[in-house]
Every structure is written in C-alpha cells, then in structure tokens.
Structure 1
Amino acid sequence: MSQLPPSAAVGPSNVPPRGPVEEPAGSPPARTSEDRYRPVVYQPSSAWRSLYERFFAHIKLDERWEPTVRQQAERGLVVYVARSLSFLDFLALDFLTKKHGLPLVRFTNDVGMFVAEPFGRGSRRMRLQKQIPDDRALIDTLQGEHSALLFLRRPPRLQGNGRLFARSTKGDDMEVDLIRTLVELQRKTSKPIVLVPQTFVWTKRPASTQRRSAIDLIFGPAEWPGRIRVFLQFLANYKNSLLRSGEPFDVRAFLDEHQDMTDAQAADAIRYALLRRMERERSLVLGPAKKTSTRIVDELMRSPRVRKHLDHAAKEAKREVVEIEREARRDLDKLCAAPDTNVVHFFHRFLDTVVWNRIYDGMVVDREGLERVREAARKGPLVLLPSHKSHVDYLVVSDLLYREGLAPPLIAAGDNLSFFPLGPFLRRSGAFFIKRSFKGKKLYPQLVDAYVRKILVEGWNVELFVEGGRSRTGKLLPPKLGILSMIVDAALQLRDREITFVPISIGYERIIEEKSYVHEQSGGEKQPESIGGLLATGRVLRSKYGRLYLQFGETMSFRGLVDEAVALAGKNDRARGAPSVQNGESGLSPPQRRALVQRIAHRVTYEINRATVVTPAALCATALMAHRRRGITHDQLVRQARTMVATLERLAARIAKPVIDDEGRFRPETLSEALRLFEDAKLVVTVDDGKGDPKRGEPPDEPIYQIPEERRIALEYHKNTILHFFVPSALISSALLAMNGEAELETLRDRVRRVSRLFKLEFMYRADAEFDEIFDDALGSMRAAGEVEIVGSMVRRGGGASGAQVARYAEMLRSYFESYRLALLSVRALRNGEVASLGKKEWLKNALALGQRRYLSGQITLRESVARPKLENALAALHDHQLVRVEGDHIKPGALIDDGTTYVDLDRVLIEHLVID
C-alpha cells in the first residue's frame, strides 16, 4: 500500500456529511513508538479533481448502491471489495464515496498509488515503497473504524513459458491474503465486518469464447483485462459505464454459521462467494460469453439430440444423411441470432435520440417491477413475455434492459421481418427468425427446439410474444403455445437452472400502425413487411404518439410452476382414487406437461392484463365510446371518466400518473391532453367549440365532441386496451338489462356463464379462479358501488347515477353482440342447405358485405361491429357450439346446425342483449 496524504478525521460513525470532502493541508501525522500506520484519505489536486468530475460523473449507479452502503455503515465496518486490481476502480470509487458522503477509502491494497500522488496534496511526502505491511495497515484502518477497498485478484500477467509468452485466462492470486486477515480480525472484534462487492463495468462488450488473439495476449482477455485494456475500455465507454452493487457479505454471521472452519478455509469460502456475486453482477450487464452463430450451428449439428433427428429424417425420406445435414444447416443459419454489441449500442443511440424523444413523449417505466426482474435475473435466465401491439415492441424491452444495465434478450421473431436491409440489423441486435408455419416441415421444429434449448443453456435471456402476432384490436390475443411449449420442454430438462417467466405489458397512447390495422379489420389484406414500409417511418417521425408505458407483471419461477403442476396432478389422481404416478424427472406425464404449458400461457396473459396501465388515451376513448348519443359534452365526458377512474381504482388497476394528481384525485386536464392527441389523429372532432356567438348574445357553452363513424374502429383500439378490467361487470350488466333489469341470482349466473363461454376467445379471464368466484367478486363489487341491489335471491339494477353505470358497462360489449349475431346470420346458407360448404375467405367477405348493408340500414348500430377479428372469433365460437365445422379453409354444417333449438336460442340470446336501454 502506498503512503497517502493526511486527511481530516472522520467521526465515529464513519459517515461524513454529503458533498466533496475538503481536507485541510497539514504536516504528516506523528508516528507512535511502534511506528503504527494512521489511515488517511487520498485527496486529489484541483486539476486532478476536474478530471474526476468529467469522467466519473457519468457513471450510472445501481439504485441500491448508496442506501446499501449507508445501511451497512450504520451496523458495522464497511469494506468495499472489487474483483480485479484496478487503479481506475479505486479512483472511481474514491470519487463516488466523496460525492455521496459515504465511508471513505482509507486503505487499498497493491494499487500503485504513486502514479496519482504527484497530482494530489502532500506530494512531497510521496513514498514509492510500502511503509507498513498490508495486513497490518488493514487492521489499523478497521480498528480506527474506517473503511477500506480490497482487490481480490490481480489481472493475469504475461509470463514466459520456454520460447512462448502466455496469459492465464483468469486473474492471479494476490501476494497477501487479506480476506484471511479480515477473518482473524472478525474473531477478535464484536462489531461486524461487512464486505460490499463493487463491480465497475467499463464496457458492455461480453467476453468471447473464440481463440485468444494477440490483443488478448498483450492486454489481457476481456473477462480479466489488464490495466491498459481497462483504461482503453474506459476512454471509449466512460459515458455508459456502470457501478453494480452486489449483495453485502456479513463476515461475523458467516463465521457463526461455520464455526468448524479454519481461518484459511473460511477465507477461501468468502473469497469464492464474493467472486461469484461480482461475476453475477457482471453477467447481468454483459450476458453470457459471446459465441459466433457459426459456432452455435456447429455445436447444434454435433449434438446427439439433433444427430438423432437428422438420421431419422434421412431414413424417413430415404435420402442421404449429408443432404439432410446441408438443409438443416441452411435452416439453422437463417434461424440463429448473431448479437453484436456495436449494433445494440447503435440502436440504443438511435432510439434514444430519434424515437423515444421525438415521436413519443417519453417512456414511463415500472421501476419497482424492473427491480423484481433484475433480482430474478441474478438467479438465472429470463423468459420475457411482452404484449404485442406494434413492431415497436421488438425494440422497447431490449433497449430498456440495455439502458438499465441488464443483458438484452434474444428475441423470437417471425421470418417475415428478415427482409433486407432491416433483417440483418435485427439479427445483430438479438432477433432469431422462425418460420411462420411448420406445416410439412417435420425436422424444422426439432431444430428450433434444439436452438431454444441451447440458448437457455448458454444463459441468454429470451423474449417471445405469447400472442404470436400483433393484436390489431388492442385486446390481448389468445396465447399461441408453439414456442412457449419448446421453452417449457427445454426448462424441464434444465432443472438445475432457475428460469423465470416475466409478463410485460407495453402500452401506447397512439399506435404507429393505426391505419393498417383499420384497413385489416375492415376486411383488407394484411400488407407484408417491406422496404416501403420502412421508408414510411419518415412520416411517423413527424407525428406525435403520446407516451409509451412499460409495466411488469409478477414474475413466475418455473420451478414453482412445475411444483404446482405436480401437486395438482397428485390431487387430481387422489380425487379419482388412482395411484399417484411419477413420470420422469419432472413428475409430469405428456398430457400434464401440455396442461402446464396452457396454465403458464393463461397465467402470463392474465398478468399482462393486470399490469396494463390505464392511460389517458384509453380512459378518454372508453368514456367517449360508452356514450350512446351522437355527441358528448365536455362536462359529461369528465363525469363519465371520473366514475370510470373510481371503478378502476376499486379493481386495483394501475392508473397512469397523468390521470390522477399526487393526492390520488382525478385530473380533468388529462382528458384535454388525450383529446388533442385524438384530434390530431382525426379520431375525434369538436363540433361545437362552446364559445357561443357574442354578437347574438349567446353565452359560452361546453364543447361537444363527436366520433366520426369511419374512425370508430381506430378509437375502439384504445378502449380495448383496458376493456378487460370492465368485462366481468359488463357481462353481468348486459345480462341483467337483457332480463329487464331484474333477475334471479342463479338465473343471472347461468346467463353470464353462457355468454362468457361464447366470448372465451375475445376476453382473457382470470387464470387463478373459477367462473363462480369471478362472478361473485364482480357482483359484490357492483353491489358495494350501488350499481346493483340484491334483495333476497333477486338482483336488480341500482338507482341514480350508480345504476346508470350499468348501461355504460353493457354498452362496452354491444359491438361484440352485434358482430356475433352477424356471424350467426352469415351461416344461414349452410343451415338452409343452400350450400354444402363455404370457403373461409368467401364467408368472411360475404359476412362483411352483409354487415355493411345492415349497418347502412340501421340494423347494426355500431360501425366497429363490422370487423374482421370479431367475425373470425365468432366463427370459432359457432364451431365450439357445433353449429358449423371449420376444416382448414372450409366451413361445413355442424352437428347441431339443423337443431332449431340451438340456433334459434342463440339468436334469441344475442337479440336480447342488443335490445337494452
């Protein structure tokens, strides 16, 4: 340790006041007769301090770093610990502890401080050699209740080996084992010594598994860089550098738990635990060691699992194995991601400067949820499952994680996005492209399965959209189980790794694909992604799309999900009186494994819905569309929105901050902001500005807002983003009004059960409860709000303003009832025997044409009822009710199509739900 200039004393708590510490100049401390070392603080000169400020002020701190260090300083002696000897790490930590008023470093081992001493105060007292052994200096520092910084290893040194020079692939041991010194000191003192790991990340480029280069030989490998390499990394990336704080290590608590260990054994165990914690923090930022896509493909082609499938495919096709291998390699080359840190950083800079702050008014992030995700990432790979509403979704999660110091995921994307020139960029930013259909490709699913398993084994986070494609309606789509099933199968084989599922809700106040979505819902063909669509981004960049919201649902441990599934399977076996059977390592049979996949999918969709934030745009759209008249005054809109906010708060929905003030009260101004956004998009028009005509003596009145009929589908998109919160109440309200506002409780329950089954593809219901529990909870909530009354066994619509809310709930579902009745009418030709079958495209075209005629004649009241997604879901519901049979691209009569009771009864129910006040 180098002799440092003297400093002013710090109080017994070892926590100095906030702000830079100014040390008075003075003479060297007097030595005792034993020539004991007095711990001092390094104090740079003003010129050196200006360099500190310029380069270290950019370091992004772990949010828990300062409170963690401060908390540990209050309960014990803080010793900062870093992985590899680095003068740069010392300077950065010295700057940060002084800036934040944390315990200052009074000792550090083997850092070579003589380099900095000419630039600090007291340079005349600089010593080029140690004045006291490191172990003695460390003891003196801690006995004086000061803090120290310990480096655990040296960077690997260039060593001669005969005629060659080489570096080891990991750090070298320090000359003095100061961890053992701490153990010996802790046994003699009652005050706990707390080791706080510090991990500075000067570059986000991960280590490589490729053969060592000459640069690695001279400057050290990326995972254990030498001093020159660290310094060059710092100069290139200092504006993006990070400090991550590992979990503190209590030496006294460890020794109390391991009293049988010798000092040397305890020191080794502590050192290993600290290195593990610091490596875990580095891995959070950098991700796994980088392998080229070519190497990944080679390893997959050599794996026994893939070889087995290749041999089977060749035998089945009666072809040479080498031909099958060539095809498989081509498929893998097109499949595999090729993540490149430079491309990821380029995307981050582009998104940060051009997208998030130009077309959006910023990104609102669930910080508490993000910390839950970070904690889960410390345990193992993440499976990130965002909602999918826009192509922007591909960028949001990856960029947020990169910005927040978490390794970006590899993203499962459709091969429709692999077009030039966007495809190569997406591949290098982490996308792997999967064919949209596996039809007729028996080997391809096995290759995808092997690749998914491989990237989880390597430790990559994985992102996939459980809905499969983008939602064109604003609602979550029913989950697709293909890729999710592969991930579950891979995770079942990796029981030694903790894999966590993370539901994510991505919300927009406006969607950039709005026009194309309206076109598709109205019956237009989906346009393939192309360079033309990419160039249209210029028009997007000139528009404003409000805020972007990113919220996290509760994380789900895969081990916990499997344990639940095993317990449920055992419970079901006992209920049937059958013996409980263990099926392989997971304890699940193939049917139970499929049930597990479905359970995870529905839990994820439920969590996404629950985490969805109520944006000003969604609230405003819902209030506008729940009003049945041609226009709504501003005062009516405010009252309606305020009531809806109260309902949403009662349902524990997440309300966007602009909607409510600091005291939790509704902000009417938020509607004005959303209306401006809608008027800019021509979704709403103000037909009367409310100013009146002073020349005629007309007093000012309220503005009146109308929705252009041709824009209702676009506005419904925003309503649908939060519709799921209201669905249980809306189903009850619609059924109650269909029975003239009064019904027996059990009759109402049966009606709601039937309608909820009809709409099972439209709405994602709670995954943690049965129908009766959901019904009782919703009815109880409505009763508490005065919206309904329950007298004996009868349920009645409430009175006054609360009762009026029942009609608004029911109005939210009117377009679905109209659309489903339109679908029912569109299969009359099959029922009447006029045709034996219909093509799905032909049926859809005819249904849309019929809907357009009925809308123009007033038989359908809402323009959004004539929409392709609703009709497609309605057709699936008719198939479920056995009124039709959907076989591939053809529709045929179902088993109950001739049963007049079934057809007429369903028609009657739909009509009753439409003839309501």
Structure 2
Amino acid sequence: MLTFRRKRKTKTPVGDAMRVHYSNYIPERGGAISDLLRRFMFRNIVLSETEKEKITQLDENGIFVYASKYRSHFSFLYFHTRLKQMGLPFPTIGFDCTIYAWQPLGHLLGIMGSHIRYFFRHFSVPDPVESGHFKNQLLNGKTAILPLIGRDAFYRSFVKSKTDPIACLLELQAETDRPLYIIPEVMIFSMKPKKSGLSFFDILFGTRERPGKVRRLAGIFKRNKESFVEFCDPVCLKTWLAAPGMEEKSIGEQALLLRRELIEQLNRHRQTITGPVLKSRQEIRESILTGKSLKNFMIQHAEESDTPLQEVHKKADTYLDEIAANYSSRWIRIFEVFLDRLFKSLFEGIVTDKKGIARVKIRSKQSPLILVPCHKSHLDYLILSYVFKKHNMPCPHIAAGRNLSFWPLGIVLRGGGAFFMRRTFKGAKLYSRVFFEYMSKLLSEGFNVELFIEGTRSRTGKLLSPKVGLLSMLVDACRQGACEDLQFVPVYFGYDRVLEEDAYLHEVEGGDKESENLGQLIKARRFLKRRYGKVYVNFHEPISLSDVVKEQGLDFKGMDTDQHNTFCNDLGYRIINSINDVSIATPYGVVASAVLNSMKKRFTFEQALEDIRLYTDHLDAMDVWVADSLGENRERSFQSVLDSYVRRKFLECGSDCKGHLDPGTVFNLPEGQRPVLDYYKNNCIIHFISAAMTALAIKEVNRFQFQAGELLEAYDFLADLFDPEFAFNRTATSEYMVRKDLKAFIDTHTIVPHESSPDTYEITPDGLRKLTLFSRFLRTYLESYLVALTAYESKKASKLDGKAMVKKCQNLGKKMFKVNEIELPEALSDITFKNAVRHFKDKGILDETSGEATHSFYKNSIRHYLEVMEK
C-alpha cells in the first residue's frame, strides 16, 4: 500500500504571486485552535479504512481533485481536516467555493487587502481559474475540491463565458503526463431512503441529500452511526480522454459529458446506500391496481370466469394486500437495534466476506440485485438485511412464505421489507398475475429482492435442488421491460450450530412439521439461553442476466415457453453451484464427517485427528474456503469442537476425560446421536462427494494399479443415481471431475502417478484406508436408496402415492436396521426416501415390461457398491 508524503514546497511562479490572497484557498497550516475545533466537529463522521484504500491505491505522483455534487463549505472543511489527519492528499483549493471563516487572521487580512487592490485596478474580483492560479497550484502538488452543481454554473459558463472548472482540469491533463484523478465523494447523514414527496421538515431544514446548516449541525453533534463518507470509483482523466471518439469532441463537450458522468456516478452510489425513492405502500398498490397491464388482465379474467369486474377488482386488491411489504426505515432501525443485541447473545460473531460484498455493491449501481442465499434457518431472513445495513447498503425486499405472515410477526416482517407468497400458484390465475405485477413494480422502482431458491429450509444441511418459479417470474418481468438487467447474487449462509436442530431431526425421522404461530414465537425465547458459535456469510461474484443471455446466444425477448423454462432451470442450477463454490467448511462439519465415517462406536482422540487431518488436507488440495478457525491452530479448533459435542451429549467421553484431551482419550458415539451429527456432516459434504464417487470407483477396479479411464463408468452411474441429492455442476464433464479428484488424492498421498505408464496411478500403502474414508460419504445414501428399492418389491407399491410410499420406506427401514441389513440410523431419512422414491419412479421401476429388470439392476448395483466400500 502506498503512503502519501507531503511534497516539498516549490517556488511560486512569478505570475502567481498573489496565491495566498485567494479566498478559495485554505492554508495547509491553520491555527491550532481552529484545527482542534474542526476535529471535534467532524469526529462522528466516519471515513473507513476501506475508503482510505481507494485513495492509497492510486499513483501518489498524480494530481487529486475531490468532487462533491453540491457546493459546500462544510465538505471542503471536512475533507481538508479529516484527510490531513489520515495522511492522505487533502484539499486546500476549492473550485467555486470561497471561505472566509476558519481562515488564519493574517491570511484573512491578506485576502481583504488584495481583493481591494485588485478591484480598484481591474474593477472586478480576482478569478483563480481564469488567471491560471489553480492550474499552477495543482501542478505544484496541491489538492482541490470541485462542486459539480452550483447555483450560477450555467450563468458562469454560457452567459459570462467564464472557464468551466472541469474544462480547466481537462486542459491541465492535456498539458501534463501526470495522471489527474477526480474522486467523487458522497457524504451521508442518514441512510433513510428519499421519499417521493418533501415533508415540512425537509422544506424548512433541507433534504437528507442536501441538508441545510441546522440539519447538518444536528448531524455533526448527534452520535449517529449513519454519518459517514464514501468515495466512488476514481476517474483518471488520462484514461477517460483516451476513450474512443473523445478526441473528436471539443473541450466544452468533453466537460459537459464528464460532469454528467460524475453526477450520475454520485447518484448511483448514493442509491446503493439509501436505496431508491421510497413510495408508501398505498401509493405502490394504487400504481399496480390502476396500471394498464393489470387492468387489461382483470377485464379478460372477468370475461373468462364469468365474474363481475367489480368482484375481480376486489379480489385483486385483497391479494395485493396479502402480498405487499410495508417497507419502513423506522422498522429497519428498530430491527438493527434489536438484532445487535440478539446476535451478540446468540453468536460469537458474524463473519462476512468483505471483498465479496464490496463487489456486490459495485454491481448494484448497474441494475437491481436479486440476492439468492441458501436457506438453513429462519434467521436467514434477518441476517442478510443486517449485514447489508452494517455495510451501508439498503435492506432488500424479502420473499417469505405466507406461513410467516401471522400476527404479530407478519406486521414486523412487512416493515422490514418482507412480502409474502403462497406455496403454490396452481389454479390461481388472478393471484399469480397480481404477484407478477408486484414483482415487476419492485424491479422497475429499483429495489433489491431476496429469494430462497431452495423453496424451503434445508433439513439435511446440504443444498436442495432449485425451485425456479419465482426466479422464472423475475426473468419474465425483466423480459417485459421492468428493468434492463438483473444481477443474481449467490449467497452462502453457514452456521456452526442452527437453532432449529431438534426440529429438523424430528422432521427427518418422519415427524410432522410444526406450523409457525404465535405459540412457537413465544417458545423461541428458550434459544436465547444458548450460544450457537459463528455465522458465515459469503458472496459469489454476481451473475448478470444479460451476460448469461449473451453467452448462450439467445433471443431473450423472443424465447418461447419451453426455451424460457429451460433457461431458468439452467440458471437455477448455476446459482446453486455458485453457492456451493463459496460455501465454507467449518470445523463442526469436518469433525462430524470424521466421527461418522470412522464406522467405530469407540475411538481415540488421536484416531479421530488422523481422519480429520485427511479431510482438511483434501479441502486444502481442492482450494476450498474454510472457516477462519481452521486458519491457524487447527488441532485446538478440533479439540474445541469435540468438547462441544461432548457437552451436547452427541459424544460420550471416557472416564479419563477431565477437560483435557490427550491422544489416548477415548470417545464413544451413541447410535441415537448419529442423525444429529449427520446434519453437520452434510454442511460440508459437497466438497467431498465427487471425491467419494471417484474413491469408490477406484476401489471397484480392485487393483492397486489403475488408469483414469477405468473410473468413468462407475462415476457416471453414481452421479446419475444421486442426482436428486446433490446439485452437481452440469457444465463439468465426468472426466474433468475425476482428474480433479485424482490430483487431490495425489496431494493427500492417497495415490501416486506411475513412474513410466502415462495416465496410470498406484494406491499408496495407506491409500486404501483413505479411499475407504472418502467413499463412506456415500454409505448413508446407498443404504437409504436400498431401503426404497426393497419397499418397491411390495405388490401394493404401485398403488401408493408418494407420501404413503415414504412412510412405507420409514417402517421398512427400521426393520432392516434392527436385523442389520443396513448399518446407519441416519439412513432412515424421510427426505432421502422421498428423493429415492421419486428418482426410481422416474427411472421406470413401476413399468410393467421393464420395471422388474430396472429394479434388479439398481438393487444389485447398490449392494455391490456397499460391499466394495468395505473391502
């Protein structure tokens, strides 16, 4: 990082002898008292280290000019004081900004005297731009501040034909080889969004964007976390002037174009902080219900359903009232205060991907963000909004299930930006259209939207297959002109421990889901007595909808229904894969994997560590993002997790365990606790599942020497078999994935390349044990699918619906577990049974002619792989 040093003073040019007498200039060395007063005044306006880096990354030999939207003495004084404190280039020159207060007395008297003398000589006031004074000062190492909009800017440039300050800067860049940087700045005193109308308070004291003196002073002395400064992307004039077609324009045209670009950049940046103009809920409802699109649909719907138009209008109004959010900055502020305390009591911290969210903020200037996180807990609804608020971004509108709209939670969530949707739109044409119009309105207004592409919370810990209904609706709204583009942002949420742990286990084992209501909300108080470790929030690079369309060479607006559905389905899987790409492997997930895959009920601390090290070495080889606790003292982190599992009675510790673990400490894994640990294993299973299939394929070869090509058939079979369970990367070929796994196995000393034969590998002496440990990630699913196939042997199977068939699998699975036909209690998962039943049905297992052969093929294959796994 560059450190800026104050440049040596140079002799003032002869024609610049009056430089200290301009009122647009603040001396570098002010009075001690005035410096202290300014520092005190500006102490609550934050300029973060992140913003500082935007300046330090620039060429220190450059010329620096800060740009504000409006002329402001306050901004001039603030940046002069704060940037000087931080050791950054600070403005001493103010274009179109005269300062008399805060000047040293000697300098103030000099200004008055020189202005009087100049007036009697020239009958005008000295102009530092016309005289070339500012040019000389900038060349001599001074820094300036430039307002882009002034009260008399048009009059000055086009009536009096005075030199435009921006034109002056363009001329200066043409005369020097040093880069000239214009750095737009945004000063925020409130993150509340701008409202569609002015209040009496705004008229009296100025708006939040352009506050008056009283409002600004109130912002100074109020200890307000929402007072801060951010810089937009600096504009290098040397690069800007080198753009195609720029040389052909006159200096005046260039200045006008540059001013517009800078103002637009400032407006967009402010909107990434405060959000778009906020209209009232009633205003949005009226706009939708009276819009031409919905009015025409309601007329057509009334005719087709033979319903009075007035009744259709009433239904549409009721539906919109059921759906719409009531976004309120007051509720957002209450949320922030409440969540500050809640999260501090529940978690050890929220670890946020700061570089990722910075990329997201940049993209938000281009088009609305569609935030697509994985869904692991009800807290997901709150965490992303909280993270956005803490990083000076507007909270998104959130798609929530109608089951959460009960009183009083529904009122609270609506105030925080939640809108509610039914689980299915089937048969509800009017409701579906009203919902579509509401989504289109949000996008056209520029709001960011958060949706959960899995459709529900994952009860198993791994990502579910994408449900693309709402995604399809958003893409369709963009096609119909609601906005020019969409930025899909895959987001990963990771928890060391989830609040709903017990409820998930109950549902996975076949229990009924408890519906959300006020009683559940009251019971939730018990969670406040526990600690749940850390939360991890990671952001993938945003996916531009227009870029995806261009990649695939599609006629976006001309797509038919089948093309649209295929496009949205592919996009859904791309988003799921992107979430997996930024998912974090936590020590809780890695330890749970090692404990479950060891297949021993009793094991020592040293034995567990050996398996854990193998898995972490694999994560390193695959360049997987790991939790910060795995960055330094990993062994201590694993010991802490094992201690936690013992305290929560997931593991039992031998009599020699007295708070300190040594290599010989013995643990016992109770059979009934395996399904709980399976949830945490599944949190990181996506990083091992391909390696597990490759390892099982290697073991099937049944030789210590093998070639990569021999593995593809088994890999393809397993990938197809478990397609309902894992969102495999559909753009990567089997050959690519196998070779990637083989490279990782070489890094973990599981296999070695043959010395002379190309594309041939040998298993190391300890490699067979390691391959077994990798392959065991599949055992739970192989056993679940075996139970489903056995259930299909019943003569009544073809007559049972999906729900009844899953119940049959659960009952049969318990019997098979008791007689040791399967070994793992975690294989008795309703969710896995549901996937298996649907998968085998799609494969034609109930077909009258080929069903028996299909059933036999899959059952024999699964039994074969279970035997191979333990060889």
Q: Structure 1 residues 220, 124: CA separation in 2 closer, same or farther (over 3 Å shift)?
A: closer
The residue matched to 1:16 in structure 2 has which SS? Answer: coil
1:551 match: 538
Q: Structure 1 residues 70, 773: CA separation in 2 closer, same or farther (over 3 Å shift)?
A: closer
1:731 match: 693
Instruction: Give the aligned CA root-mean-square deviation in angstroms.
Output: 3.4
- Find 1:800's aligned residue among 765, 778, 794: 765
Mapped to 1, the partners of 2:479 and 2:659 lie a distance apart of 69
| Alignment-mate amino acid for residue 861 of structure 2 | V
2:780 match: 815
Deviations 1:836-870 (A, max 9, x none): 62244333333222222322332221110111111
The answer to whether the aligner puts 1:593 opposite 2:564 as a matched pair is yes
| Alignment-mate amino acid for residue 611 of structure 1 | V
1:278 match: 266
The answer to whether the aligner puts 1:61 opposite 2:50 as a matched pair is no
The residue matched to 1:440 in structure 2 has which SS? Answer: coil
Q: Structure 1 residues 741, 71: CA separation in 2 closer, same or farther (over 3 Å shift)?
A: closer
Mapped to 2, the partners of 1:259 and 1:839 lie a distance apart of 72
The residue matched to 1:762 in structure 2 has which SS? Answer: coil
The answer to whether the aligner puts 1:323 opposite 2:311 as a matched pair is yes
Give the fraction of aligned pairs with identical amino acids, expressed as a percent.
27
| Alignment-mate amino acid for residue 575 of structure 2 | V
- Find 2:645's aligned residue among 654, 663, 678: 678
The answer to whether the aligner puts 1:373 opposite 2:360 as a matched pair is yes
Mapped to 2, the partners of 1:668 and 1:287 lie a distance apart of 45
The answer to whether the aligner puts 1:37 opposite 2:23 as a matched pair is no
The residue matched to 1:504 in structure 2 has which SS? Answer: strand
| Alignment-mate amino acid for residue 643 of structure 2 | R
| Alignment-mate amino acid for residue 440 of structure 1 | G
Deviations 1:693-720 (A, max 9, x none): 9xxxxx9862122332222111111110
Q: Structure 1 residues 69, 156: CA separation in 2 closer, same or farther (over 3 Å shift)?
A: same
Contact 1:55 1:238 in 2 (8 A): no
The residue matched to 2:696 in structure 1 has which SS? Answer: helix
Kindly state the Cα deviation for residue 129 of structure 1 after the two structures are TM-superposed: 10
Kindly state the Cα deviation for residue 309 of structure 1 after the two structures are TM-superposed: 1.9
Mapped to 1, the partners of 2:466 and 2:657 lie a distance apart of 47
Moved more, 234-243 or 90-99: 234-243
Deviations 1:197-239 (A, max 9, x none): 11111110111113x3333333334444433333444555643
Contact 1:614 1:655 in 2 (8 A): yes
2:330 match: 342
Kindly state the Cα deviation for residue 140 of structure 1 after the two structures are TM-superposed: 4.8
Deviations 1:288-326 (A, max 9, x none): 111112111111122222122212211121011121111
The answer to whether the aligner puts 1:16 opposite 2:6 as a matched pair is yes
1:890 match: none
Q: Which runs of no fewer than 5 residues in structure 1 stay unpaired?
A: 1-12, 24-28, 158-172, 568-582, 694-698, 884-893
Mapped to 1, the partners of 2:239 and 2:709 lie a distance apart of 60
- Find 1:642's aligned residue among 588, 598, 613: 613
Contact 2:618 2:745 in 1 (8 A): no
- Find 1:267's aligned residue among 241, 245, 255: 255
1:10 match: none
Deviations 1:68-91 (A, max 9, x none): 334546232111111112233223
- Find 2:181's aligned residue among 194, 201, 207: 194
The residue matched to 2:654 in structure 1 has which SS? Answer: strand
2:118 match: none
Kindly state the Cα deviation for residue 58 of structure 1 after the two structures are TM-superposed: 4.2
Q: Structure 1 residues 606, 14: CA separation in 2 closer, same or farther (over 3 Å shift)?
A: closer
Q: Structure 1 residues 593, 62: CA separation in 2 closer, same or farther (over 3 Å shift)?
A: farther
Kindly state the Cα deviation for residue 780 of structure 1 after the two structures are TM-superposed: 5.1
1:165 match: none
Deviations 1:311-359 (A, max 9, x none): 221112101112111111111122122221222122222222331x221
Deviations 1:735-767 (A, max 9, x none): 454675678976643233223212111011113
Contact 1:37 1:140 in 2 (8 A): no
The answer to whether the aligner puts 1:910 opposite 2:854 as a matched pair is no
The residue matched to 1:383 in structure 2 has which SS? Answer: strand
Q: Structure 1 residues 188, 298: CA separation in 2 closer, same or farther (over 3 Å shift)?
A: same
Kindly state the Cα deviation for residue 476 of structure 1 after the two structures are TM-superposed: 0.2
The residue matched to 1:668 in structure 2 has which SS? Answer: helix
The residue matched to 2:634 in structure 1 has which SS? Answer: coil
Mapped to 2, the partners of 1:330 and 1:184 lie a distance apart of 61
Deviations 1:797-824 (A, max 9, x none): 8242222111111221111111111112
2:447 match: 460
Kindly state the Cα deviation for residue 244 of structure 1 after the two structures are TM-superposed: 1.4
1:618 match: 589
Mapped to 1, the partners of 2:749 and 2:465 lie a distance apart of 33
The answer to whether the aligner puts 1:882 opposite 2:844 as a matched pair is yes
Contact 1:503 1:605 in 2 (8 A): yes
Q: Structure 1 residues 122, 855: CA separation in 2 closer, same or farther (over 3 Å shift)?
A: farther
Alignment of 1:476-491 (within 5 A): 476-491=463-478
The answer to whether the aligner puts 1:768 opposite 2:722 as a matched pair is no
Mapped to 1, the partners of 2:780 and 2:335 lie a distance apart of 41
Kindly state the Cα deviation for residue 639 of structure 1 after the two structures are TM-superposed: 1.3
Contact 1:202 1:242 in 2 (8 A): yes
The residue matched to 2:295 in structure 1 has which SS? Answer: helix
Deviations 1:751-795 (A, max 9, x none): 332232121110111132133433343345436655357888998
The residue matched to 1:408 in structure 2 has which SS? Answer: coil
The residue matched to 1:411 in structure 2 has which SS? Answer: strand
Mapped to 1, the partners of 2:668 and 2:596 lie a distance apart of 10
- Find 1:870's aligned residue among 827, 832, 843: 832
Moved more, 174-183 or 291-300: 174-183
Contact 2:802 2:837 in 1 (8 A): no
1:705 match: 667
Moved more, 396-405 or 770-779: 770-779
2:123 match: none
Deviations 1:249-273 (A, max 9, x none): 2334444553343333222222111
2:804 match: 842
1:5 match: none
The residue matched to 1:683 in structure 2 has which SS? Answer: coil
Contact 2:39 2:82 in 1 (8 A): no
Contact 1:331 1:444 in 2 (8 A): yes
Moved more, 772-781 or 273-282: 772-781
Mapped to 2, the partners of 1:749 and 1:34 lie a distance apart of 82
Q: Which runs of no fewer than 5 residues in structure 2 stay unpaired?
A: 116-125, 154-159
Kindly state the Cα deviation for residue 487 of structure 1 after the two structures are TM-superposed: 1.3
Moved more, 213-222 or 513-522: 213-222
Contact 2:712 2:734 in 1 (8 A): no
Contact 1:114 1:126 in 2 (8 A): no
Deviations 1:373-396 (A, max 9, x none): 122112221111111101111112
The residue matched to 1:501 in structure 2 has which SS? Answer: strand
Contact 1:562 1:586 in 2 (8 A): no
Mapped to 1, the partners of 2:700 and 2:511 lie a distance apart of 34
The answer to whether the aligner puts 1:654 opposite 2:625 as a matched pair is yes
Contact 1:72 1:78 in 2 (8 A): no
2:215 match: 229
Question: What TM-score does the superposition give when structure 1 sets the normalisation length?
Answer: 0.85
Give the number of equivalent residue pairs.
839
Kindly state the Cα deviation for residue 551 of structure 1 after the two structures are TM-superposed: 1.2
| Alignment-mate amino acid for residue 722 of structure 2 | F
Mapped to 2, the partners of 1:133 and 1:701 lie a distance apart of 81
Mapped to 2, the partners of 1:187 and 1:692 lie a distance apart of 72
Contact 2:190 2:208 in 1 (8 A): no
Deviations 1:875-917 (A, max 9, x none): 111211222xxxxxxxxxx215874322222221222222342
Kindly state the Cα deviation for residue 643 of structure 1 after the two structures are TM-superposed: 1.1
- Find 1:310's aligned residue among 298, 312, 331: 298
| Alignment-mate amino acid for residue 67 of structure 1 | E
Question: What TM-score does the superposition give when structure 2 sets the normalisation length?
Answer: 0.89
- Find 1:827's aligned residue among 788, 792, 799: 792
| Alignment-mate amino acid for residue 815 of structure 1 | T
- Find 1:301's aligned residue among 283, 289, 295: 289
